Structure 1
């Protein structure tokens, strides 16, 4: 079982911004920029190229909505989506506010940020998603992938 399945199942804490029947979105513990979110299918799919087209399309739509919320929250000129998947063998899209291409490198990840800073950034994304009309997909509690 992947670490992402353990987060989705509540065995490991997560900071959730999105939940639906197909996927969840939660903050990474090592963000490249504030508000960096991973969009992860609930089904344990190993990599991007083995996922069915319907799942990939759904993940893309969710990433777009989260990216728009990040842009609104952090006043970034772009929202970036990165697909790598080397660190966890479970398909995931990295969605993050971006200011330039040079900063979109995994060696810019910040694994030692205080929990309060991670919580605050993710709560801002959650609020922006609610403000954009996606409140039905924002879990009632940041720590749960369940819908209210």
Structure 2
């Protein structure tokens, strides 16, 4: 059965795209810790990030670096935090989160509740950078 992220790649489930190429997709997390919280995924369905072939994993990190630069240009922050947990969706993904303190990446904190309109506005701002 295809993961929710594979359905996003196929276009059967909508997302707020930030960046895309032929191998990877970056889109806003709909349950973000901070505004700009973005997920980077391979378009091919791989459950565990360390099962991704080495060359492709390197390419994914370079792609994530490009996305991080867009986020940093959009959101005033000290860093773009990077997290790989991989338990919530069986499709490898990297969380990129604008942070000012380590607690900004505490996944046990309540998530923001942003409207679709607000997510679209954030996506447009990030894509503009």
Does residue 12 in structure 1 map to residue 9 in structure 2? no
Contact 1:63 1:81 in 2 (8 A): no
* Structure 1 counterpart of 2:43: 42
Contact 1:6 1:12 in 2 (8 A): yes
Q: State the Cα deviation string for residues 26-58 of structure 1 (Å, max 9, x = none).
A: 111011111111110011011111111111111
Q: 1:9 to 1:45 in 2, by over 3 A?
A: same
The number of aligned residues is 128
Contact 2:34 2:112 in 1 (8 A): no
Stretches of structure 2 that go unaligned for 5 or more consecutive residues are none
Deviation, 1:107, is: 2.2
Stretches of structure 1 that go unaligned for 5 or more consecutive residues are 129-148
Deviation, 1:61, is: 0.8
Q: 1:24 to 1:109 in 2, by over 3 A?
A: farther
Q: 1:93 to 1:109 in 2, by over 3 A?
A: farther
The alignment's C-alpha RMSD in Å is: 1.2
Residues 114-133 of structure 1 aligned to structure 2 (within 5 Å): 114-128=115-129
* Structure 1 counterpart of 2:79: 78
Residues 28-67 of structure 1 aligned to structure 2 (within 5 Å): 28-67=29-68
TM-score by length of 1: 0.82
Contact 1:23 1:39 in 2 (8 A): yes
Distance 1:109 1:18 in 2: 26
Segments of 4+ moved more than 3 angstroms? none
TM-score by length of 2: 0.93
